[in-house]
Structure formats: C-alpha cells, structure tokens
C-alpha cells in the first residue's frame, strides 16, 4: 500500500508539470462516543478514535481532478498501531451544472445530512468512504443526485452487495423539500448455498420543512416533517414488508448552543444501514449540544443525547472534532 501510494504521488507530481496545479488536503476527525443504551434494539458501548485522511489531487482544465489518498483509523485502547486503512482513488468533475465522482471517495461530503433513520451515524467512524459513483445535477435552488455504492464484491466466501440510491433538495426562501431513497441489494456468494437468500432492503424519505434562521437573530431555526416508507424482503422466504412512519424534526441554535429534537411515530423499519432505534414503533431523540470549537479550520462539539424508547431513557455523550487543511503549489506550464 505504501509503495502504491508513493508511486501514484510521483506520477501526479510528474504530470503536474503540464497541468494547472497539484494540491493537497488533509483532514482529521476525532470521536468519543459513550452510548449508555438501555434498549432491546441497541448495543451499549463506548467508541473512541481518530482518523487521519491526507490526499493529493491534480486539477486540470479548471473543473477536473484526479485524487489519491487514504483514511487511517486508530481506535483508542486497541493493540494495533493502525486499526484500519482505506485508500481513496477517484476522479471528480465540479462544474456549474454537474458534479460527478467516480472511484473510492470520502462519504462525509455526500451523506453528512442524510437522516439517521437510513444511514447510522457510526458509518462515519468505520466506513468513511463510498465505492462507486455519485452524480449531481444542480440549478438554482434545485439539486438532485443519484449514486451507486458497491459495498461488497462477490467471492467464494463473500456476498455481492451494493446500494443504488438518490437524494435531492429544493429551496425557496425559507421553505425546502428533500428526498432520500435507496435500495440495498444483498446477493449470493460465488458458490451459492441452500441457506443463502437474496435480501432487498430499500427506503424512501420525503421531507417538507421551514428554515427561518435568516429571518431571526438565531443561528439556526429549522422545522421539518418527513414521511418514511421502507421495503424489506428475503426472496423465497418472506413476502414484502412495507412499513410506514412520520419523522418530526426541530432544531434551534444560538451562538453555538443548540437543541435538536427528532420524534418518530409509525411502524418499525429493519434497515441494515439505518439507526436501530427506528426498528421501534415510537422513538424520540433530544440532542443538547455546544459547538465549543468554532474556528475556520478546526471545529468541535459536545452533545448530550436523550433517547426515549421502549418506556425508558437511554443516555449518550458524544464529542467530535474535525480539522480541515488544504493548500497547493502551482506548476503552471
């Protein structure tokens, strides 16, 4: 891996003599997440660690980039020097009307705003990348994306699995509408066994909301209502299961202090990639947070979460911080 990354870096450096610029970015993300869960659908645990993600990217014709880098994870208390290394290799197009990424690229840029009901927040800890493509069309206040995330390559011992999805939003003054949808396909191994059954696991979320922060003295004032419907089956074993539900979200923030509340009511959704709390018929989450680090390149926040589920209360304390650096040296022809 070291030799491969070094070789690619040298190639990019040589190519940069005839290109516009060779640049770099480096990100760090730290997390300390204490989950004092008291629920039949959750596992109580404490997760601590830090990620380091350096990248080199070659920009040409002003809108194209070739990118190479990695994300290295170190979990606190682990006996390993490095617990997990994920390489980044991808092409990116960023134009006025279209964005396109192909390869293995960071997840944070694309799914940080996705509902926890469909993408669990711990994915940013242990699967901080997308393997596939992400295409976005944008015009004015409208934006719509489609994507493919290939999560498992088929082998003798490993099943083929992938996510096909989309997300979009439309904003007009203080009003907004959003959509999130995907289908997760969990197929066979290369040599199928009798006990293997293809699983399909999909979801659609449609959101209408109001963001009035620009019309008040507050930093954030947001209210939204979402409808969620999932589609779940195990082929030749179960029929389609199609539960429905409603999600009510409210956020208020001023000078770094904020309160966010999410209430779910409906039928339970057994989504493989979603927060297990949404397997319940009723669930409420209250986040009380403070953004104690608010610098241009360094951010950090502490959140105390109360999870109301199954007639009891679970507690969670989470501290996260991020460092984002970037620079470059021009190599103009």
Distance CA(262)–CA(216), nearest Å, equals 22
Q: Where are the domains of the chain?
A: 91-327
71-119: per-residue pLDDT in tens? Answer: 999 999 999 999 999 999 999 999 999 999 999 999 999 999 999 999 9
pLDDT value of residue 50: 98
Measured between alpha carbons, how far is 259 from 305 in angstroms, rounded to an integer? 10
Q: Which two three-digit tokens encode residue 17?
A: 């003599």
pLDDT at 47 over 80: yes
Give me the pLDDT at residue 333, please.
35
pLDDT tens, residue by residue, 156-201: 889 999 999 999 999 999 999 999 999 999 999 988 777 888 999 9
Please identify, in words, the CATH class of the domain defined by 91-327: mainly beta
Give CA–CA dist 179/75, Å, rounded.
Answer: 34
Report pLDDT digits (tens) over 286-321: 999 999 999 999 999 999 999 999 999 999 999 999
SS3 assignment, position 8: helix
CA 110 to each of CA 125, 136, 304, 309: distance values in angstroms, whole numbers, following the listed order = 15, 10, 25, 29
Which of 7, 26, 20 has its CA nearest to residue 63? 20
Alpha-carbon gap, residue 152 to 159, rounded angstroms: 6
- Mean pLDDT (the chain, rounded): 92
């Amino acid at each position: 891996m070291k030799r491969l990354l070094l070789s690619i870096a040298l190639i990019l450096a040589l190519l940069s003599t005839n290109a516009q610029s060779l640049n770099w970015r480096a990100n760090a993300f730290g997390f300390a997440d204490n989950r004092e869960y008291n629920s039949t659908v959750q596992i109580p645990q404490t997760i601590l660690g830090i990620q380091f993600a350096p990248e080199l990217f070659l920009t040409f014709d002003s809108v194209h980039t070739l990118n190479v880098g990695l994300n290295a994870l170190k979990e606190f208390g682990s006996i390993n020097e490095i617990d997990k290394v994920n390489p980044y290799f991808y092409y990116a197009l960023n134009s006025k009307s279209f964005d396109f990424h192909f390869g293995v690229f960071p997840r944070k840029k694309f799914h940080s705003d996705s509902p926890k009901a469909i993408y669990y927040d711990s994915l940013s800890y242990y699967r901080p990348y997308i393997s596939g493509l992400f295409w976005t069309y944008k015009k004015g206040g409208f934006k719509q994306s489609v994507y493919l995330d290939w999560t498992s390559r088929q082998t003798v011992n490993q099943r083929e699995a992938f996510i096909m999805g989309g997300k979009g939003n439309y904003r007009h003054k203080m009003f907004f509408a959003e959509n999130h949808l995907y289908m997760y396909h969990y197929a066979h191994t290369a040599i199928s066994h009798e006990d293997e059954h293809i699983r399909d696991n999909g979801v659609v979320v449609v959101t209408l909301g109001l963001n009035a922060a620009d019309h008040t003295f507050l930093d954030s004032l947001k209210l939204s209502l979402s409808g969620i419907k999932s589609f779940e089956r195990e082929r030749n074993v179960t029929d389609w299961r199609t539960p429905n539900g409603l999600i009510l979200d409210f956020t208020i923030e001023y000078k770094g202090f904020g309160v966010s509340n999410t209430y779910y009511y409906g039928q339970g959704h057994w989504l493989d990639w979603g927060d297990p709390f949404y397997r319940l018929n009723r669930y409420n989450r209250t986040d009380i947070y403070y953004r104690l680090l608010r610098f241009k390149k360094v951010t950090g926040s502490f959140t105390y979460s109360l999870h109301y589920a199954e007639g009891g209360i679970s507690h969670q304390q989470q501290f996260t911080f991020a460092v984002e650096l970037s620079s470059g040296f021009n190599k103009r022809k």
